[in-house]
Amino acid sequence: MKKLLTLLLVFTMVLSLAACGSTQPAGGGDGEDLPKIGVTIYKFDDNFMSFVRRSIEKNADGKAELILNDSQNNQANQNDQVDMMISKGVKALAINLVDPQAAPTIISKAKKADIPIVFFNKEPSEGALDSYDKSWYVGTASKEAGIIQGKMIVDTWNANSKWDKNGDGKIQYVLLKGEPGHPDAEARTKYAVEEIKNSGIGVEELELQTGMWDSVKGKELMDAWLAKHGDAIEYVIANNDAMALGAINSLKTEGYYSGDKFMPVVGVDAIPDALTEIEKGVLVGSVLNDAANQGKASLDLALNVAEGKDVLDGTNWNLDDKKAVRVPYLAITKENIQVAKDSYK
């Protein structure tokens, strides 16, 4: 019993430490002479963001002392974490917003303390970034992923006449959308479908709902859609791989991917679990969302401004007219899968 209590106590301490944000002196030393950078991730429990986080940590090694926070998908938490980090004397903030609309709140805190901010992954509005000369963004051109995914759907559809199961020449699709209001989710949804239409292929949307970037939700939605539409579904379009993998789980339970029962699914991110399914010929393809370079760019910029240097000093990154570094997306299929694998090395 006593042992159990001690264990519980230790567990609670670890948990509360994690909630407060852990200070991680990167590199060998005690981190005293390295610039402190305050980082938030909207939630650690996001597959893709865990790779961005890993890259930030790796690139900070020996260069910066990170204060790393899990905002647990709660903007109020994140606001408190930013206050805490400012009071701890961080020289720069690297912020993955919970709510893309919350940028002005974070900016007003940083502005008061005269601390520069690099936002990443969830793009603040142009107006928000314009309101503070010491704020920047690192991410992607959101619509690019939609266009690439749309092209992949067109190419694979044209190469597989059997996929038009009802033979009407149109794609009956279901779409798993990411978080509503997230620039990536909105643009991917719009441009993937637009790209198909632009190619001259007709589309019919059977279902479109948000799976909040989440694999479990993706599976639940696919379960319901399969129960309702069954084989009338001809294509599954997912805004990210986590939801695509959830849908694939659901499809496997219904007997797909064995014998000649097949359902095309496409995702975005090209995370390692998705690459495995591409290699098996289950997932049609994905779009590499380059976590390694987005993490590197976020850290590079934050470190520069923390040290009072020009934001791009000594880097190869470029800023566009919206003060953003945009890391390119890349189509990933079986043929070039190694490119995606290499990006995780």
Residues that bind Ca ion (CB under 5 A): 164, 166, 168, 170, 172
The kind and range of the H/E element at 337 are helix 337-342
Residues 6+ apart with CB under 8 A from 135: 107, 110, 116, 117, 118, 119, 124, 128, 129, 323
Which DSSP state fits 258?
B
| Piece in contact with ligand BGC (CB under 6 A), picked from 6-14, 45-53, 149-157, 327-335 | 45-53
Using the rule CB under 6 A, is 215 a contact of ligand BGC? no
Tokens linked to 205: 């949307």
Give the largest CA-CA distance in the chain.
70
Partner interacting with residue 289 (select from Ca ion, ligand BGC, none; CB below 5-8 Å by kind): ligand BGC
Tokens linked to 109: 């805190």
Q: CB of 204: closest distance to ligand BGC in angstroms?
A: 26
Determine contact, residues 91/117, Cβ cutoff 8 Å: no
Partner interacting with residue 269 (select from ligand BGC, Ca ion, none; CB below 5-8 Å by kind): ligand BGC
Tokens linked to 291: 């976590």
Separation CA 329–CA 267 (nearest Å): 13
Partner interacting with residue 166 (select from Ca ion, ligand BGC, none; CB below 5-8 Å by kind): Ca ion
Please identify which residue in 37, 49, 107, 175 interacts with ligand BGC, judged by CB under 6 A: 49
Q: CB of 186: closest distance to Ca ion in angstroms?
A: 26
Alpha carbon separation from 257 to 169, 207, 251, 254, 261 (Å, rounded): 23, 22, 8, 9, 6
Partner interacting with residue 90 (select from ligand BGC, Ca ion, none; CB below 5-8 Å by kind): none
Please identify which residue in 46, 70, 290, 300 interacts with ligand BGC, judged by CB under 6 A: 46
Please identify which residue in 144, 234, 269, 277 interacts with ligand BGC, judged by CB under 6 A: 269
For ligand BGC, give the closer residue by CB, 154 or 242.
Answer: 242
Cα atoms found within 13 Å of the Cα of residue 231, Cβ hemisphere only: 11
| Piece in contact with ligand BGC (CB under 6 A), picked from 31-39, 42-50, 193-201, 218-226 | 42-50
Q: Residues in the site for ligand BGC, rule: CB under 6 A?
A: 46, 48-49, 121-122, 182, 184, 213, 240, 242, 268-269, 289
